[in-house]
Structure 1
């Protein structure tokens, strides 16, 4: 299971370019509402704590769902791992901007998002760390192929606790990219957004997903 945590962390790091596209604008916005650097930093941290907390909750829900499928429906963990590996391959192709099949799955999340997104209006404009925390908690539910792909690992864990920890590791992996934007480290920002960086990280995810799929199928056959 330690490998699953480490893998989720790497997925979060490798998806840096996608994270910036989805949440980078908010991270930048949080640094323009205060006169002090301390205020900037506290709001950015609070936003990300809220966001990662939502990922962790989603992981717990997915892990619990997986446990129900295993115990009540007789589903085998190894087949759930096959599904998770396939999703990582699809994620790699998505991040590398080669095949966008995950956008169809993101659209499914739009049905739930339309009910959650209006909650953000109650905390805008962001003036306090508490408002930033609540915004992060809402934004953690934003339809995202990166999140959904990692959730399949939580589903395959077969445990609410393990699923939550996997998504916590993923959330921590996404932090560096968003903190880079918030801290205005421009050269790193440009590197992460570069097409070549996305292609290389996407390829790395495809290779890792392929390896995971090979290991899972080897256990079956």
Structure 2
């Protein structure tokens, strides 16, 4: 059964960075501004992103476990192929959204806001960020921020069919997002202006769109 490779998951995270900077930029900036303590800024950003990666990995393991538990249905329905196809459709929608050609993915993010509304009060209690432990906890909560980019890869984790594969898929994706978000912590204004350029967004969108189309082609050829 075809599945989203770890390299592809990392590339989705990297190319989707234009979305990360726009959506998570305010949170990353908050880590930098809410810093009355003496801890190095880089240590706080690394701690926060470590917490985020832990949440992604946990979510991937749960999704992979759910996918594994549904494998008994494959005698009745092509569950694995359907989940993989859905993951590729999500990547196509993500690519169109990143390129600025379609906004359907926003409806998926709104659905996920139900969970975030319950977690957001906990996030505000962690502020101001003064120590790495606080940053790590904030990162754990940050990992559940509604995000169509995350949901696209989470469906791929569901299609992977095992907790280990699901966890590794989400971990690879999270590692792919690191360069953009760490850079955001240091060059917030310049990076935000750069990713707003149409050519940057369209290039990233086409790259993700291409991954989704290639995945769909693998289902039929």
User: Deviation at 1:27?
Assistant: 1.6
Separation of aligned partners in 2, 1:19 and 1:43: 18
| Contact kept? 2:37, 2:131, Cα under 8 Å | no
2:204 pairs, out of 201, 204, 216, with 201
Corresponding residue of 1:95: 98
Q: Give the structure 2 partner of residue 44 of structure 1.
A: 45
Q: How far apart, CA to CA, are the structure 2 residues paired with 1:179 and 1:145?
A: 20
Cα deviation, 1:21-78, whole Å, max 9, x if unaligned, reads 1111222222231575x62011000010011111111111111111111125645322
**TM-score between the two structures when normalised by the length of structure 2:** 0.91
Say whether the 8 Å CA contact 1:64–1:158 is kept in structure 2: yes
Aligned mates of 1:76, 1:30 — CA distance in 2: 42
Say which SS state the counterpart of residue 51 (structure 1) adopts: helix
Matches within 5 A, 1:1-221: 4-32=5-33, 33-34=35-36, 39-72=40-73, 74=75, 75-184=78-187, 187-218=190-221
Q: In 2, distance between residues paired with 1:202 and 1:163?
A: 24
**Structure 2 gap ranges (5+):** none
Taking the aligned partners of 1:11 and 1:4, their CA distance within structure 2 comes to 11
User: Which sits farther off after the overlay, 144-153 or 27-36?
Assistant: 27-36
The alignment partner of 2:70 has SS state of helix
Q: How many angstroms apart in 1 are the aligned matches of 2:23 and 2:203?
A: 19
Native 8 Å contact 1:82 1:217 kept in 2? no
Q: Deviations over 1:92-133 (max 9, x none)?
A: 011111111111111111112111211112211111111111
Q: CA deviation at 1:214?
A: 0.7
User: CA-atom RMSD, angstroms?
Assistant: 1.9
What secondary structure is seen at the aligned counterpart in 2 of 1:30?
helix
Q: Pick which of 95-104 and 177-186 moved more.
A: 177-186
**Matched pairs, number:** 217
Deviates more, 1:209-218 or 1:71-80: 71-80
